[in-house]
Amino acid sequence: MKYFAAVILCALSIHTALAADINVFAAASMKGALDEIGTAFKAKTGKGIVATYAATGTLAKQIEAAAPADVFISADEPWMDELASKNLIKPDTRHDIAANTLVLVEAKDANLDAKLDDLATALGDGKLALADVASVPAGKYAKAALDKLGQWSKVEKNVVMQDNVRGALALVAKGEAKLGVVYGSDVLAEPKVAVAATFSEDTHAPILYPAAVIAASQNADAAAFTAFLLGDEARAIFTKDGFTQVK
């Protein structure tokens, strides 16, 4: 009887492991698209995902501290490189799944006529919302672009930084910042903002989103999900949500 009970418990444990949702740690800018992709993946495979969205650096540090992630989606290559250097991802599962643009945003109908080569005039005493320029990819891209255009030293005093790019977007939407620098895809998630200008690709490093399975993951479906991210269905969702295709 004890043997039979042990067999039953073992079978239940195996079933639970097989049925476990895939824990996905993803950059905040991925939220809308990834929620939809997760729904599509479940409809096709019966397997669900549980997504945790935050700044890429925050998620990477959590993974380094052994947080129970199965898949990591970064908003830049350096944070994924850092995990790779510590053997925390399965390298054969790493792929760039989407790209993005960098844009200057203002409140909808503000019509500030902001120019990228003269932001100080448009800002006046107003705030410029950015993701943290020291640790968040969107902030790093923004600072690099502003430096390239000779604007950083002129607007640094106006900068207010947020923990992630969606936080910077929210400040502009609420009227707490006059302008902000976010991803092109973010604009579609917030009807209260509009694109004032788009930074050219030569002002910053390519904005790429690499995804990979975490080395410690025991979820048998994690690799299938990362492969799904490369398929036509996922790419169509990324495009609809403002992301661009990887070149």
Domain containing residue 165: CATH number: 3.40.190.10
Mean local confidence (pLDDT), 161-178: 96
Write down the pLDDT at residue 6.
38
Write down the pLDDT at residue 247.
81
Per-residue DSSP letter, 218: -
* Phi and psi at residue 245, to the nearest 5°: -80, 145
**pLDDT interval class at 235 (50, 70, 90):** very high
Statement: residue 7 has pLDDT above 50: no
Per-residue DSSP letter, 53: E
Handedness of CA 101, 82, 221, 50 (dihedral sign): negative
Structure tokens at 129: 């919302």
47 and 72 inside one domain: yes
Whole-angstrom Cα distance, residue 64 to residue 77? 16
Domain holding 84, by residue range, is 2-99+207-240
Statement: residue 1 has pLDDT above 80: no
Condensed to tens digits (0 to 9), the pLDDT of residues 171-215 reads 999 999 999 999 999 999 899 999 999 999 999 999 999 999 999
95 and 126 inside one domain: no
Statement: residue 48 has pLDDT above 70: yes
Instruction: Identify whether the C-beta of residue 103 lies closer than 8 Å to the C-beta of residue 197.
Output: yes
Write down the pLDDT at residue 2.
39
Statement: residue 8 has pLDDT above 70: no
Mean local confidence (pLDDT), 132-142: 95
Q: Which residues share a beta bridge with 106?
A: 179, 194
**In residues, how long is the chain?**
247
186 and 213 inside one domain: no
Write down the pLDDT at residue 20.
86
Write down the pLDDT at residue 11.
35
Statement: residue 4 has pLDDT above 60: no
Write down the pLDDT at residue 19.
53
Which pTM does this prediction carry? 0.86
pLDDT averaged over every residue in the chain:
92
HSE of 44 in the Cβ direction (CA atoms, 13 Å)? Answer: 15
Write down the pLDDT at residue 130.
98
154 and 226 inside one domain: no
Instruction: Identify whether the C-beta of residue 101 lies closer than 8 Å to the C-beta of residue 197.
Output: no
Domain stop point among 166, 181, 198: 198
9 and 76 inside one domain: yes
Q: Which is nearest to 212 in space by CA: 63, 35, 44?
A: 63
Q: Which is nearest to 75 in space by CA: 14, 148, 142?
A: 142
110 and 85 inside one domain: no
User: For residue 214, is it within any domain?
Assistant: yes
Residue burial 150-172, b: 16+ Cβ < 10 Å; e: rest: ebbeebeebbebbbbbbbbbbbb
**pLDDT interval class at 89 (50, 70, 90):** very high
Residue with the larger pLDDT of the pair 62 and 15: 62
